[in-house]
Amino acid sequence: MSRLSVRGLSVYTTDDILYNTFSEHGEVEYTDLKKDRETGRTSGYGFVTMKTAEEAKAAMNALNGHELDGNVIQVNPASSDKHRGGVGHGFA
């Protein structure tokens, strides 16, 4: 479980904001912020992949129910730990 599902995101949240928020709790490998195709704004959810399961658990425990950009976010393990690709923000 190093891949987390993040829901309840503001339309103003960016990959950089997501990365910076989660990197306070461990090393972020990848962010995948889903966007509305017509508006280009955040659809309200995305995924964050942390380097280790321990870092993912720490981030989930710290950030679930946390306010980010004026919205309370929900952070849970993603249904699949396999990276599915897509438009995102990779960090090496």
Q: What pLDDT does 55 receive?
A: 98
Residue spans of alpha helices (H) in the chain = 15-23, 53-63
Cα distances (angstroms) measured from residue 38 to each of 7, 9, 43: 20, 18, 11
What pLDDT is stored for residue 40 in this prediction?
A: 84
What is the reported pLDDT for 81? 46
Q: Where are the domains of the chain?
A: 3-80
pTM more than 0.85: no
pLDDT score of 80: 65
Show the low-confidence residues of the chain (pLDDT under 70): 80-92
CATH 3.30.70.330 fits 3-80, yes or no: yes
Give the pLDDT of residue 90. Answer: 53
Tell me what pLDDT residue 56 has.
98
Per-residue tokens: 57: 């658990």
